[in-house]
Structure 1
Amino acid sequence: MTADMTRRTALARRLAGLSPDQRAELERRLAERARTPAPGGTARIPPRAAGAGPLPLSWSQEHMWHRHRADPSGAAYSVPLRVRLEGDLRTEVLRAAFGDLVARHEILRTTYGERDGGPYQLVHDDAGVEVEFADLRGAQDTGAEVAARLAAEAARPYDLAEGPLFRAVLLRTADEVHVLSLVLHHILTDERSAGLLLTEFVEAYDRRLNGRPPAAAPRLQYADYAVWQRSGRAGDSAAAGLRRRVARLAGMPGEIRLPADRPRPPRPTGRGGAVGATVGPEPWHRLRELAREAQATEVMVLLAVFQVLLRQESGQDDITVTLPEAGRVHPDLEDVLGCFFNTVAVRCDLSGTPSFRTLLGEVRARCLEAYDDRDVPFAEVVDAVTGGRAESRHPLLQTMLIFEREGAGRPVEFAGLRMTPLGVPTAHRGARAKRDLTLVAVDQGDTARVDLVYDADLFDPATAEALLGRYLTLLSSLTTDPDGRLGT
């Protein structure tokens, strides 16, 4: 959501200033473009045939559907979006704008049922959306009340078969200040889609406020993508990519043996916690300089440090860490709302005593290999490598690194309002744990925020604090002397 949201909002403001003739010409050109081949000669993704019957889930959705079934009362896959709205907010316009968004995007009015042991998705015609409203101006401690309401909203369970899977709550905290909370199940959305949703809300609100008609529905809906993916038209290279990914992970250890405080339970409960710290300007600058010198990215440096930590803690040289990937593998999918999230696994051999600079080169090469096959659904990789999902742990998903940029904090001005996206607090990051350890690094410009989310079934808070402290120590020392041997 981040810088992309800011860019799109600026574009929406420019579009709002076009004359009716200019807008008509733009819509004509966009319609013409939709009928032309995609860039690079790639065949367009076709809309699904009408009356196609029960619709399949995408690979990403099916993975989340299975995880939800294992813990239907939990909120591990709850995606909260929070913004502060300052100015003369028209609540009736806001409700109408969300109604327009739900009418425009089928994914926001879709539920997920089960038939013959497998899932299917059902798109509903009803475009209504409920926006709950609460006036907290008289609360004794407004800040605490808002925090409690937001936490409770994010923790509410979902019924995938009944819905709703998209919820909106508007909290009034002062005469011209509101906090808007949107919560979606992850089966509907990913980070890119979350930014797109907020951007389209800005445009939909502006259209309603100024009496302009709602934006037309996009050429493609997410269900079109799911049908295309399942039909095999996603590309013949997927099978070859699966073979490559499985080969890279062949013979890997069943788990990274970290010194936990308790034995692993028969089934994960999802109980989580989180600890956080700040990377100061000096070490963050050194990290960026090292990345530039190595023709790498910040996430590659962060990943290399994380793998060194996991090697020290486990005593193992064969370390695999997973990374999230946007998953939009076709140009037609850039503006489609839905869950395209995928995962790639980066496996490195840390045996011997290479320098950190040498290890960083290895991590860079393994990351580029993994990204080359990012169109392969990770659920398929898990099943192929493990022969099925283990009950007591997350196969190939025990450790993850997530990297974000804090463009989300930039205010957006529109329709007499100032919208400031609110970050997700560390406590919420750790509300549920999908894996043993997840390192979340947020680029804040001159500094970075690092949160370590941990499985509370395995680790105590003090242990997580110690692990994070050792990670930050390694980050500082390895970027100060990247040519020193890791064994020292």
Structure 2
Amino acid sequence: MKPHDDQPHAGSDDAASMAELLPCSLAQKRFWFLEQYSPANPSLNIATRWRMDGAVTDAAVEYAYRALIERHEILRTVFIERDGEPFQRVLDTVSSKISIVDLTRLQGAQRLEEAEKISAIDAQQSIDITRDIPVRMTMLRLDERCVMILLSMHHIASDGWSMGTLAHEFGTLVSSFMTGRDSVLEPLEMQFADFALWQADMLTSGAFDKDTAYWSSTLKALPYFEVPGDRPRPATLGSDCDFRIRVLDQPTGEQFDASVVRFGQTQFNIASAALALSLKALTGQNDVVIGTQVAGRDDVLLEPLVGLFINTVILRFDLAAVGNARELVEKCGATIGDALARRQYPFEQLVQVLNPPRDMSRTPLYSVNFTLIRPVIRSERFDGVDLVSLPSQPTGAQYDLLFFMVKRAEGWRLACESSRALYDAATVDRILVLWECALKALISGTDAKIDLGVLPGSHLTAAQAVPEAPQSSLSAAWPTTPQPASPIAVIPTQAALADLSSRIAQIWRDVLKVDEIDGATHFFEAGGHSLLALRMIARVNDLTGTRLPVATLFQSPTLAGFTASIANKTASAMAKQVTHIQAQGTKPPVIALNDGAVYHAIGRLLPDRPFIDLHMAGEGGALQTTKRTFDQFAADAVRLIKAAQPEGPYTLMGHCVFGSLAYEAAQQLRRQGDEVSLVVMLDTIAPGYVEDMPLHHKLTRRLILLKYAGRHFFELVGKVRNKEMSLAGMLFQYGFLRRSGLMRVLGRLQPEDQREYAAEDFAQVVFSNHLLDARRAHRCRPYAGDVVQFRANTAREGRLFDRGFGWARHIAGRYDVITVPSDHFNMMKEPAATVVAAHIVDRLDQVQKTAAQKQTMA
């Protein structure tokens, strides 16, 4: 195997100024600490592998690997210590290459055996994150049309979701190279370092205070739950592990799948209840503590990123009085639901708050972990190549016992990765038998009382008394006949509407922090916004087993309407992009781009006039194609406009960069012969206004803005905390800040540093850099129609800051500039919303009156 001798080196730590360093997230700091405590520990790796079938060349694989490193900053990041604190340093370029091993000279069986050996060795090779980038790739060539790809990453820079993302993008890039086409990967709107910046600021803002109180109360006097081992616990546990598997038979697997309907609970909740019950039997303890991981990607803008987003949640089950199977599952489900409702609270912060005794032979707070795995790497077919997911090689033990449940082709697997320092493999096998026994007992009955006896003795070797027969360790009183199905099905029927409404109402109470919820409750009027909408939709998806588009909520924002929409789901691709915020009215609608939650207040203030929002970045939207011109983005907007309103007259509206998009869409509509009554802009700078300034003017303008650095920072933190701005909004602004180079000017990245955010420099929350880049290259053509511009009264005005944002020279029609009492971000809320809506109504009434007069004269 060729060594990785071309890995980049960070060079001297002293050479890196603080301006080049970015803070680490809390989870990264924990892995940094583990790395320092146990250098070269392979258990800190994530290793995955997949097979690629097709005429895959070495050059294609090398190209795809380099493209991934260029695309994701975290893949070309090294970690540097300053005064005991780790920081991230993103390298501009790296020279890392893949290792290529040719196994084609070996015979078939020997070839596969050697591939398995190399895979196991590669997974155990550590990564020096202080000198090397945190990713390593090896290609094993099995024959001319088959290769195996081994991808290893340090956990400080990745998680399971990230490995799935990398697999998909790698296949896409290999295919594009082989077919000679440009890559179709969408550009990234932010990078992981932006998330770390956001988290650092949120921790100092008080945003997590309520969750701190919840977890402090819930985990008060938390015992350290552990399953006694076959050997005394060593001072340092080590990473040597065993991996044991037990496959459920097909009838049991099918019964487990069906139990989701019967209990009205998720598979995770049912499996967790069974595991907790088996652990109670093993230890005799009623207070059972299990850790689990959540994706940590509640905002859709985080989904395509690579990085360490996962967070650990502690599940504390009280099994003193478990009752019958249904009561146990529902009780455990409630515990899980309460914990997951606070899943964003950083585990590392929780450890600091609870401050448990430190013991390096134990993980903080918990020793048993459980994950129900939904494969993040799926077999995919690309043009010219197939990517097939392969089981991962273990990298080493992180916990005493790490339980998995995963569905493979042969059925559901119960699996456990155990610390070899504590447990024999035979003991772990018997634990899996007991877990299977408990699971069968739960899913075969719901109302009979649980009578699972505690196994004799306090030492785990007593588990050897558990017989191999799956049912014999359980009370014979447990029924084997399935109970009638719960009315909550995967897609609820009309008969289940009342029960479904009750369950969703509870989710709304949790998400909105509002006690009084009924059928007439309007999600946004009750304090909801786009980020909370995404959280709520995710929980409803877990409840119903469906995948609802967030547009469902915008179209039916009351509890009654939303519930009915789920029960009669008929969502289409267009419904994901066209939202009727206000559907009532006989007058021509106002069409806005591009965030229904933002425009909601204005839409409700327009009497007898529908208000439509177009989600340009939605599924099937403009962002699915890269390297687009601004005209092309506008053409996409026109397509959606026509779908929402086939004929004019049109009134188009946009905030910030979307105001420019509305202007260009109006141009195209008019060229097609359509009537455009009005274009409404909110704090929108004309393309070219800043770009065409002489360099010294641009620098002067920037210095003026920097003079007021930091004024808006804590206001933004407050908006996120008060549910007035989404996490996406704040993250996107950090991405803009870093890419603009201002951090190098400011010199340091501490949360207390002052930072400048000029209102007109903010990018629209939910759109991408490609639209912004396209606008910078775009230049306006003269427009003969009417335009009204609303500007925030906090926007600067004077030399280099035109009151009309540079539009007057482009507009041949009437151009009004109206100042509203607001900053850039609250122009669509009160009191500014009333001013904006009143002017829109007045202007459109004037347009209608003029049109009527012309018709009369004709």
Please confirm whether the aligned pair reaches a TM-score higher than 0.5, indicating the same fold: yes
2:26 to 35, 56, 59: 59
> Contact 1:320–1:346 (CA<8 Å) still a contact in 2?
yes
TM-score by length of 1: 0.84
| Corresponding residue number in structure 1 for 2:327 | 358
1:337 paired with 2:301, answer no
Code of the aligned partner of 2:251: E
| Corresponding residue number in structure 2 for 1:419 | 387
Deviations, residues 384-428 of structure 1 (Å, cap 9, x unaligned): 223464223112230111111347453x2223112111122xxx3
**For 2:88 and 2:265, how far apart are their aligned partners in 1?**
40
**For 1:329 and 1:481, how far apart are their aligned partners in 2?**
35
**For 1:445 and 1:86, how far apart are their aligned partners in 2?**
19
- What SS does the aligned partner of 1:259 have? coil
**For 2:358 and 2:301, how far apart are their aligned partners in 1?**
32
| Corresponding residue number in structure 2 for 1:110 | 77
1:436 to 400, 405, 408: 400
Structure 1 residue 242: Cα displacement: 2.3
Deviations, residues 173-228 of structure 1 (Å, cap 9, x unaligned): 11211111111111111122111111211222233334445557522111111111
1:129 paired with 2:96, answer yes
**For 2:435 and 2:277, how far apart are their aligned partners in 1?**
9
**For 1:206 and 1:116, how far apart are their aligned partners in 2?**
46
Code of the aligned partner of 1:132: S
Matches within 5 A, 1:22-61: 52-61=19-28
> Contact 2:225–2:289 (CA<8 Å) still a contact in 1?
no
> Contact 2:324–2:447 (CA<8 Å) still a contact in 1?
yes
| Corresponding residue number in structure 2 for 1:284 | 253
> Contact 1:285–1:446 (CA<8 Å) still a contact in 2?
no
**For 2:251 and 2:182, how far apart are their aligned partners in 1?**
51
Runs (5+) with no aligned partner, structure 2:
1-16, 452-474, 476-858
1:463 paired with 2:431, answer no
**For 2:81 and 2:216, how far apart are their aligned partners in 1?**
30
1:81 to 33, 48, 56: 48
The verdict on how the C-alpha distance between 1:158 and 1:388 changes in structure 2, with shifts beyond 3 A counting, is: farther
Code of the aligned partner of 1:384: V
1:239 paired with 2:203, answer no
| Higher RCO, Cα 8 Å, sep 6+ | 1
**For 1:401 and 1:311, how far apart are their aligned partners in 2?**
15
> Contact 1:408–1:423 (CA<8 Å) still a contact in 2?
no
Code of the aligned partner of 1:480: S
**For 1:236 and 1:443, how far apart are their aligned partners in 2?**
41
> Contact 1:321–1:346 (CA<8 Å) still a contact in 2?
yes
**For 2:64 and 2:320, how far apart are their aligned partners in 1?**
57
Structure 1 residue 128: Cα displacement: 3.2
The verdict on how the C-alpha distance between 1:147 and 1:108 changes in structure 2, with shifts beyond 3 A counting, is: same
| Corresponding residue number in structure 2 for 1:144 | 113
| Corresponding residue number in structure 2 for 1:221 | 191
> Contact 2:175–2:384 (CA<8 Å) still a contact in 1?
no
> Contact 1:299–1:403 (CA<8 Å) still a contact in 2?
yes
Question: Greater shift after overlay, 400-409 or 177-186?
Answer: 400-409
> Contact 1:85–1:179 (CA<8 Å) still a contact in 2?
yes
Code of the aligned partner of 2:36: R
Report the number of matched residues.
Answer: 433
1:249 paired with 2:219, answer yes
Matches within 5 A, 1:260-275: 260-275=229-244
| Corresponding residue number in structure 2 for 1:68 | 35
**For 1:128 and 1:295, how far apart are their aligned partners in 2?**
52
Percent identical residues = 26
**For 2:115 and 2:387, how far apart are their aligned partners in 1?**
17
The verdict on how the C-alpha distance between 1:63 and 1:282 changes in structure 2, with shifts beyond 3 A counting, is: same
- What SS does the aligned partner of 1:464 have? helix
1:161 paired with 2:161, answer no
Deviations, residues 286-325 of structure 1 (Å, cap 9, x unaligned): 2222222222111111100110111111111011111110
| Corresponding residue number in structure 2 for 1:10 | none
1:315 to 280, 284, 290: 284
> Contact 1:386–1:395 (CA<8 Å) still a contact in 2?
no
Question: Greater shift after overlay, 278-287 or 297-306?
Answer: 278-287
- What SS does the aligned partner of 1:470 have? helix
Deviations, residues 83-107 of structure 1 (Å, cap 9, x unaligned): 1111111221221122111111110
**For 1:414 and 1:91, how far apart are their aligned partners in 2?**
17
- What SS does the aligned partner of 1:348 have? strand
**For 2:213 and 2:72, how far apart are their aligned partners in 1?**
35
Code of the aligned partner of 1:173: L
> Contact 1:75–1:155 (CA<8 Å) still a contact in 2?
yes
| Corresponding residue number in structure 1 for 2:68 | 101
The verdict on how the C-alpha distance between 1:459 and 1:413 changes in structure 2, with shifts beyond 3 A counting, is: same
Structure 1 residue 279: Cα displacement: 1.0
The verdict on how the C-alpha distance between 1:91 and 1:374 changes in structure 2, with shifts beyond 3 A counting, is: same
**For 2:221 and 2:97, how far apart are their aligned partners in 1?**
51
Rg comparison, structure with higher value: 2
> Contact 1:326–1:341 (CA<8 Å) still a contact in 2?
yes
* Structure whose residues are more often strand by fraction: 1
Structure 1 residue 53: Cα displacement: 3.6
Structure 1 residue 486: Cα displacement: 2.3
Question: Greater shift after overlay, 478-487 or 459-468?
Answer: 478-487
TM-score by length of 2: 0.49
> Contact 1:383–1:389 (CA<8 Å) still a contact in 2?
no
| Corresponding residue number in structure 2 for 1:476 | 440
> Contact 2:20–2:89 (CA<8 Å) still a contact in 1?
no
**For 2:364 and 2:243, how far apart are their aligned partners in 1?**
21
| Corresponding residue number in structure 2 for 1:375 | 344
Code of the aligned partner of 1:304: A
Question: Greater shift after overlay, 199-208 or 434-443?
Answer: 199-208
Code of the aligned partner of 1:485: K
> Contact 1:64–1:187 (CA<8 Å) still a contact in 2?
yes
**For 1:329 and 1:53, how far apart are their aligned partners in 2?**
29
**For 2:445 and 2:174, how far apart are their aligned partners in 1?**
52
**For 1:158 and 1:444, how far apart are their aligned partners in 2?**
30
Question: Greater shift after overlay, 267-276 or 104-113?
Answer: 267-276
The verdict on how the C-alpha distance between 1:170 and 1:228 changes in structure 2, with shifts beyond 3 A counting, is: same
The verdict on how the C-alpha distance between 1:477 and 1:294 changes in structure 2, with shifts beyond 3 A counting, is: closer
> Contact 2:171–2:387 (CA<8 Å) still a contact in 1?
no
Deviations, residues 443-477 of structure 1 (Å, cap 9, x unaligned): 23672011111111111111111111111122122
The verdict on how the C-alpha distance between 1:51 and 1:212 changes in structure 2, with shifts beyond 3 A counting, is: farther
Structure 1 residue 329: Cα displacement: 3.2
Question: Greater shift after overlay, 189-198 or 473-482?
Answer: 473-482
Matches within 5 A, 1:377-416: 377-387=346-356, 389-406=358-375, 408=377, 410=379, 412-416=380-384
Question: Greater shift after overlay, 299-308 or 260-269?
Answer: 260-269
